[in-house]
């Protein structure tokens, strides 16, 4: 079986748009700068497209020093990352984390744009994955999400209107394994790296949000629920943890090392 890595995507701002990468260094925390920034309420609770569908329209980019964000109808936000601001206790889902507050100017820009009182924080410290003994920044629970291109093709064959892969916000897309083959893999070699599939990804309302318009519908959750309800959740894709680090490049060969 010949399989290939066809997409690499990082998300510098949690719940903002993704950055398509051609090549990247896989770190213990996943792809570079993935979910390094996050918006939080004044009480420190994370904000995402679940709360504010308009976050889908945010287009962030980050080079390790400067965060830039474009959004419809707004001037570009350009911000030099702060590492000496107030450290806030924040929550991601039910998990605790810490973030460096990025200041009042950043808070004002996002609050005005999204019409919601919020602050921008940058990850600091250490946070363990929900399972699997890995590390993660502000992603919900794991540093990587892997989806097979054939899984999306199978879903789209069941829908009246096909959906793009960005509805599912994957880190890695692989082609050639077959539909839902990611469910039956434990260890996957991608180029010179190795990743372990740890947990099937439970899908939420974000998948029903058009990432280009911010509008919501009923699909794909309605259709996925009819055939992908597993352990009382709608599952699509696999959360994963890096086991051997190195360079990832679109076009890399993908090999199943160990099946479940």
User: Each residue of 179-201: pLDDT tens digit?
Assistant: 999 999 999 999 999 999 999 99
Local confidence band at 1 (pLDDT 50, 70, 90 cut-offs): low
Q: Is the pTM of this model over 0.85?
A: yes
Q: Which pLDDT score is estimated for 2? A: 84
Angle at 20 between CA 244 and CA 146, to 5 degrees: 45
The Cα–Cα gap between 29 and 207 comes to: 24
Alpha-carbon dihedral 55, 103, 119, 114, rounded to 10 degrees: -40
Mean pLDDT of 13-40: 98
What tokens were used for 92?
């991601």
Q: Which segments of the chain belong to CATH 2.40.33.20?
A: 3-30+133-259
In sequence order, the β-bridge partners of residue 31 are none
The per-residue b/e assignment along 38-76, b for 16 or more CB within 10 angstroms, e otherwise, is bbbeeebebbbbebbbbbbbbbbbbeeeebebebeeeee
Summarised one tens digit per residue, pLDDT across range 84-117 is 999 999 999 999 999 999 999 999 999 999 999 9
Q: At the topology level of CATH, where does 3-30+133-259 sit?
A: M1 Pyruvate Kinase; Domain 3 (2.40.33)
- Render pLDDT for 72-84 as a digit per residue (tens, 0 to 9): 999 999 999 999 9
């Amino acid at each position: 079986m010949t399989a290939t890595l066809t997409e690499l995507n990082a998300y510098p701002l949690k719940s903002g748009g993704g950055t398509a990468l051609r090549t990247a260094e896989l770190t213990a925390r996943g792809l570079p700068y993935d979910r390094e920034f996050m918006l939080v309420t004044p009480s420190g609770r994370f904000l995402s497209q679940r709360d504010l569908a308009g976050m889908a329209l945010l287009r962030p980019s980050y080079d390790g020093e400067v965060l830039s964000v474009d959004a419809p109808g707004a001037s570009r936000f350009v911000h030099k990352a702060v590492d000496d601001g107030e450290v806030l206790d924040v929550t991601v889902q039910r998990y605790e984390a810490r973030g460096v507050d990025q200041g009042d100017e950043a808070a004002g820009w996002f609050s005005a744009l999204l019409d919601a009182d919020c602050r921008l924080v940058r990850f600091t410290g250490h946070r363990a994955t929900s399972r699997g003994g890995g590390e993660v920044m502000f992603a919900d629970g794991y540093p990587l999400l892997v989806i097979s291109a054939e899984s999306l093709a199978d879903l789209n064959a069941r829908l009246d209107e096909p959906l793009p892969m960005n509805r599912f916000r994957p880190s890695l897309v692989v082609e050639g394994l077959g539909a839902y083959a990611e469910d039956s893999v434990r260890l996957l070699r991608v180029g010179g790296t190795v990743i372990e599939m740890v947990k099937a990804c439970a899908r939420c309302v974000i998948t029903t949000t058009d990432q280009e318009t911010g509008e919501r519908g009923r699909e794909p959750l309605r259709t996925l629920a009819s055939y992908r309800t597993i352990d009382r959740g709608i599952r699509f894709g696999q959360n994963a943890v890096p086991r051997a680090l190195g360079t990832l490049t679109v076009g890399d060969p993908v090999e199943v090392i160990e099946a479940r």
